A and B are shown apart, each in its own frame.
Chain A
Amino acid sequence: MGYKNRVAVIGAGLTKFMRRAQETGKELCFEAARLALDSAGLEMKDIDCVAMATAPDAFDGVHMKGEYLADGAGGFRKPYMRSYVGGGSGVFAINHGWYHVASGHFDACLVVAEEKMSPVMPHPQAAFNAIYDQIMERPLGVNLLWIFALEMNRYMQVHGISQETIALVSVKNKKNGLDHPCAQAGIPGNYTVKEVVDSEIMVWPVTRLMVSPVSDAAGALVLVSERLARRLTDKPVWIEGVGWHLDTSYWTNRDLYYPKYVEYAARMAYRMAGITDPKTEIHVAEIYDPFAYKELHHMEGLLLADKGEAPKLLEKGVTQRDGALPVCPSGGLMGVGNPIAASGVMKLAEIYWQLRGEAGARQVSRPVRRGLAQAWGDLMQVGTVAILGV
């Protein structure tokens, strides 16, 4: 490949996921960054540059949010850059950090992702309204749940999938989340399919237990060049592939049943990683699950299941922690919480810990040498993928 450095992850940190954190965004960034540096045995002076990911400014109510957060992320008197692709930002952040180190410009990059959604009163939903087209969509009184319910129904109708089958994703991930020390209070739990389907209808077919909550949190990763990695750790986790792809924002002009842009992002990452058969070469996956159906929808886009087949793998238990292809062993967004950009870093951190055998109660049964994390966002149009391996 045409890049200068092979890049490794050598540290990860995370704050608790909370409906409302007492800490400010800057303070959350600091806590996550400090933990990641400590786990890598590094100090800020060892870091050459900082890559920040954080989603809409409207949540914090601070424009230039990247600059506002920078001090907490160690991003002053250093090359600093913020990237933002909506919900896809967290996984995009490692792609962005990878470039910094792979280019040969830098040996060590601190990746920080933050979200503090709670400041918006009375509810962050109101801030989401401003993502829609101001002429075609906002006048209709659109809310964020509408379009995902429209997409979920399209996916269900095309393949004949039931709400009960999709509810199994919530059951699995909320149960997995019970083992995550950072899980948001009240989010993980033991639920039945019936409880998920019968929970309050938000926008049919989405019920309350099929949608992830709003959260405050931050996460951080330390990326270094191979030269440094060999010196600093016996257990580097390599970034083997990165990919991303954006589809048109004219979302009512494309068929929502299949996320083609996720497929293209995945193909980019697979090509870089030399993967030709992702179904067997990916051993564990943290797939973006802000809504229950998204895990299945994305499994298909990632080519980890044929079109319409992901629900069958789920029903057979293939995606459980003791299955052949564990998906969201962390608990995912459904089981841990969804502080937008920080969620993606939570997923990357989970793959990092799984590959190092440090995931404790969440450690999957099968041996794992390669894992994938994926996120998705903007107007149902961006896919971001990273593949880590040992």
Chain B
Amino acid sequence: MSVNIKEWPGVPLKDRDIQSGKALTTRWQVKADYAWDTGMAMGTFLTGLKEGKILARQCDKCGRTVVPPRMFCEWCFRPTDRWVEVKDTGRVNTFSVSYVLWDATRVEKPTVPVVVEIDGCSPGVGFMHILADVGTTLEAILAKVKVGMAVKAVWKPAAERTGAITDIIHFVPREG
């Protein structure tokens, strides 16, 4: 970088340096288990999901209706005022088409992550989920999915819901 520096430090390793034992490594594995309290806002939201409802919080000062819900309005910095049930439909705000899993391994059949603006919430407000029934190839998905497209939630059967975001299996396109 600087023309005044002639030698740059650092010894890059190759995979074979480790495999062959030329460079030594010491290994350790984390085994950590967490139980998160879901809290005042998310606890109620998850109870709603278990009942097949999407619950949002309203703030009377700024007038927003938001999911994920929070007991405080971060804009007005005051408590939010009430719970309201919003629809389980919405519109695609943005989407992508994923060929990798969380650990960077590749998959043949892609997943379509989506941000859904939820009907009944303030404009532009929603959450991330998965979009399904839109094809299995990139070409088919790009031909079908459009920003602004109407979608609806597909719920697990009531008996199988556990109070988790995955109580909604995914979103699918709907007329409208």
Known A-B contacts A256-B94, A360-B3; A21 and B102 likewise in contact (beta carbons under 8 Å): no
Q: Is the CB of B11 within 8 A of A22?
A: yes
Q: Choose among A18, A35, A123, A126 the residue that contacts B12 (Cβ–Cβ < 8 A).
A: A18
Interface bits A239-257 vs B (CB < 8 Å: 1, else 0):
0000000001010111110
| Docked-complex contact B100 and A126, CB < 8 angstroms | no
**Is A232 interfacial (CB-CB < 8 Å)?**
no
Closest B residue to A357 by beta carbon equals B3
How far is A20 from B19 in the complex, measured between Cα atoms in Å? 13
Contact flags (1/0) for B23-58 with A, using CB distance below 8 Å?
Answer: 100011010001010100010001000000000000
Residue A80 interfacial (CB < 8 Å): no
- Chain B 137-176, CB within 8 Å of chain A: the 1/0 string? 0100010000100000000000000001110000000000
Q: Would you list which residues of chain A between 199 and 235 have a CB under 8 Å from chain B?
A: 200-206, 217
A191 at the interface (CB under 8 A from B): no
Selected from A202, A217, A248, the residue in CB contact (under 8 A) with B74 is A248
The tally of CB-CB contacts under 8 A between chains A and B is: 198
A250 and B74 within 8 A (CB): yes
Minimum CB–CB distance for B117 against chain A, Å: 9
Is the CB–CB distance between B1 and A182 below 8 Å? yes
The answer to whether B136 has its CB under 8 Å from any CB of chain A is no
* A124, B48: Cα distance in complex, Å: 35
Judged by a CB distance under 8 angstroms, whether A28 is at the interface is: yes
Residue in A136, A254, A356 whose CB lies within 8 Å of B165: A136
Partner of B2, one of A12, A137, A143, A217: A12
B125 within 8 A of A: yes
Q: Which residues on A sit within 8 Å (CB–CB) of B59? A: none
Q: Are A18 and B10 in contact (CB under 8 A)?
A: yes
Chain A proximity mask over B95-127: 1 for CB below 8 Å, otherwise 0: 111111111100000110111000000001111
A43 → chain B closest CB, angstroms? 18
Interface residues on B, range: 35 or more
User: Are the C-beta atoms of B1 and A140 separated by less than 8 Å?
Assistant: no
Type the 1/0 row for B61-100, where 1 means its CB is closer than 8 Å to any CB of A.
Answer: 0000010101000100000000000000000011111111
Smallest Cβ distance from A34 to chain B, in angstroms? 8
Q: Which residues of B contact A146 (CB under 8 A)?
A: 96, 98, 113, 128
Structural contact, A136 and B127, CB atoms closer than 8 A: yes
Q: Is A44 an interface residue (CB 8 A)?
A: no
How many Å from the CB of A59 to the closest CB on chain B? 12
Report whether B10 and A143 are in contact in the complex, using a CB–CB cutoff of 8 Å: no
**Do B98 and A16 have beta carbons less than 8 Å apart?**
no
Contact between B124 and A31 (Cβ–Cβ < 8 Å)? no
Determine which of B97, B104, B113, B125 lies in contact with A125 in the assembled complex, contact meaning CB atoms within 8 Å. Answer: B104
A-B contacts besides A12-B2, A19-B12, A143-B101, 16 pairs, CB < 8 Å: A17-B10, A18-B10, A21-B13, A22-B11, A22-B13, A126-B102, A129-B103, A136-B128, A143-B103, A146-B98, A149-B96, A153-B94, A185-B12, A203-B96, A252-B68, A359-B3
**Interchain residue pairs with CB less than 8 A apart (11):** A20-B12, A20-B18, A23-B11, A39-B2, A39-B4, A125-B103, A135-B38, A136-B68, A142-B113, A150-B94, A150-B113
Residues of A whose CB lies within 8 Å of any CB of B are 12-23, 28, 31-32, 35, 39, 61, 121-123, 125-126, 129, 133-137, 139-143, 145-147, 149-154, 157, 180-182, 184-185, 200-206, 217, 248, 250, 252-256, 330, 349-350, 353, 356, 358-360, 362
